[in-house]
Structure 1
Amino acid sequence: MKKNIETILVTGATGKQGGAAARELLKYGFKVKALIRDKNSNESKDLAQLGAQLIEGDWSNFESLEIALNNIDAVYMVLPPVWEMNEEEDNKEADLGVDFINLLKNKNIKFVIYSSVIMSDRHKSFRPRFKHTIEEHLWNSGLKATVLRPATFMENFLLPASGIKEGKLYNFMPKGRKIPYITTEDIGIFARIVFQNPEKYAGQTLDLMGDEIDEIEILNALQSSLGINLELVQLSLEDLTAQNPLFGRLIEMFTYEPFPAVDIEDLRILNPKLRSFSSWLDQFGKSKFIK
């Protein structure tokens, strides 16, 4: 059966999430245009070898984005990562997302997947403009679309802030609370599934997770996989709030708000490869920690 979506622009294609989506789409025969900043980066070269068409573009130059949207059917929309959590950056992200959606509408794009974040709608009480602003604008645009709301990335444990390279495990999350996590590889698989069935998933918001675990389970899995002892360091909500009030509000939300009711087994039926934290460590994480 001929796909009604054949050519897809993947933004953020050299990042973890966009890269996973691009590789998965190429594996299943989609034509992928990869929006990248530097065609000479190792990540760009790897995508080109897999068959992606590289398109250099800059989010600060919408003319370059408009060119990237020529002759495509659909878009996997991942916005540039934001490392500083504050109201100014939230506004910039919201503006960027809204403007890009307007551009997609002007270009008559058939279908859009926007990758947001889990519980984005519940941020409204302390983040007036955020990813929920982009979601709402997308629904109001009239574009056919699906919103993915992935949980916290397992890959975040590879970042220096995790403390693992120092022999520690810094727990930013509420003590004893099971937190939903997912790998970026699995997000890419779910994106591919949606692009294969756009009529089925159009108009839907999908919460994505692969595991729900607390800090003790994370500690035990890391120590077992890596063969090292780690000191668990629990960071208090008061200290986190003092460092960044907005981040403190986020952790407060994780402490008291219920997480979405997601049946991981139902997700596993869709994606039989869906990774738990331990299986992610075995397949991907361990080798990257050892580097």
Structure 2
Amino acid sequence: MSTGTELILITGATGKQGGATARRLLAAGTPVRALVRDPEAPAALELAAAGAELAVGDFDSPDTIDAAVAGVRAVMGVPPASYGPEGWDSDLEARRGEYLVEAARRAGIEQFVFTGIASFAQEGRWGAEGKRRIEDAVTASGMRWTVLRPVRFMENYLLRGLAVDGIRDGVHRHLFPADRPIQVIAVDDVAAFAQLAFADPDRFHGRTLELAGDARTMPDAARAISQATGIEVRFEEFTEGEAAAMGPEVVAVWRQSRAGAGWRADIPALREIHPALRTFDTWLAETGAAQLKALLT
């Protein structure tokens, strides 16, 4: 069923992937409806100032989801993740996402783009189970669909206050081993693939794209940051004991990454689709180095 509009609903619009996609679409003149919980939040106000229509809603209030999907042509679903003291609540995440898909289907939405998480061995142990259930709902919905599976974000170096990732006192600590290249992607490139899918639904219908833009060892990435910012940064691995103390999901990733399990996005093929796909050095030169320098000084 055609809705007769080009309006696209973006969930998670005040977050990384949703926000980047909303800004890209708005800059290209595509009308955007942004699902937000607090319309007075700074990120929501910025989207409104850029031209987005704000839809106030919450995944745990189904009637607000029904209202948000009404009258749009397409939906971008960002995982409505739930993470608490006991780890990932994959069932709640899946139920939220499945409801969004069903609401879109009932509303006659033409296209659904879902962004989840890249494939990883024994992935149910690292927050992927709920996302895969949502993917199943998307692919069975009867809508034209595209699934995006991004790897670790380059922007994770900007994180603060977390045990894993980010840079503290000149040290970047992570679960991954020092001797294996780890794939990464810039958030804006995830948005670029979403924009491409919305611009050409037929071309991207039925496609699941594992997304990455570069692969660097963690020490090599730390050296690149040092060179780009002029601030010494070094990499340090978590020990297995430290990872185990953070929970079974965390230590599972520690072990899998040392057993050869990891992301396998086809970066050359992705660059054929999106020639401007950023390398880590490109991201640093464009925005990353300046942002990191501001945080580290």
Q: Do they fold alike, i.e. is TM over 0.5? A: yes
Post-superposition offset of 1:265: 2.6
CA contact (8 A) 2:81 2:89 kept: no
Q: Does 1:271 align with 2:274?
A: yes
Q: 2:208 — aligned with what?
A: 205
State the alpha-carbon separation in 2 of the partners of residues 231 and 121 from structure 1: 28
> Cα RMSD (Å) of the superposition?
2.3
Instruction: Describe the superposition over 1:80-120 as per-residue Cα deviations: whole angstroms up to 9, x where unpaired.
Output: 34444856512211121122212222112111001011006
Aligned to 2:171: 168
User: In the TM superposition, what is the alpha-carbon distance from 1:253 to its structure 2 partner?
Assistant: 2.9
Q: Is the 8 A contact 2:35 2:55 kept in 1?
A: yes
| Structure 1: stretches of 5+ with no match in the other structure | none
TM-score (normalizing by structure 1): 0.90
Displacement after TM superposition at 1:192 (Å): 0.3
> Deviation at 1:20?
0.5
- Deviations 1:9-45 (Å, cap 9, x if unpaired)? 0001111110110011112221110111222222122
Aligned partner of 2:229 among 226, 240, 252: 226
Q: Please state how far the C-alpha of 1:259 moved relative to its aligned partner.
A: 4.1
**1:195 aligns with one of 179, 194, 198:** 198
Residues 182-227 of structure 1: per-residue CA shift (max 9 Å, x gap): 0111100110001111111111101110111111111101111121
Alignment match, 1:99: 99
Per-residue CA distance 1:228-263 (angstroms, 9 max, x = gap): 122432102332123211121133333334545433
Residue aligned with 1:190, SS? helix
Q: Quick check: 254-263 or 233-242, which moved more?
A: 254-263
Q: 1:66 to 1:33 in 2, by over 3 A?
A: same
Moved over 6 A (4+): 125-128
1:184 aligns with 2:187: yes
Displacement of 1:126 in angstroms is 7.8
Tell me the distance in 2 between the aligned counterparts of 1:134 and 1:121: 19
Deviation at residue 272 of structure 1 after TM alignment: 2.5
Q: Distance in 1 between matches of 2:44 and 2:255?
A: 38
Structure 2 gaps of 5+ residues are none
What SS is found at the alignment partner of 1:130?
helix
Checking the alignment, whether the CA contact within 8 Å between 1:5 and 1:195 is kept in structure 2 is no
How many aligned residue pairs are there? 288
Structure 1 residue 67: deviation in Å?
A: 0.7
Bigger share in helix = 1
Find the residue that maps to 2:140 and give its secondary structure.
helix
**8 Å Cα contact 1:148/1:208 also seen in 2:** yes
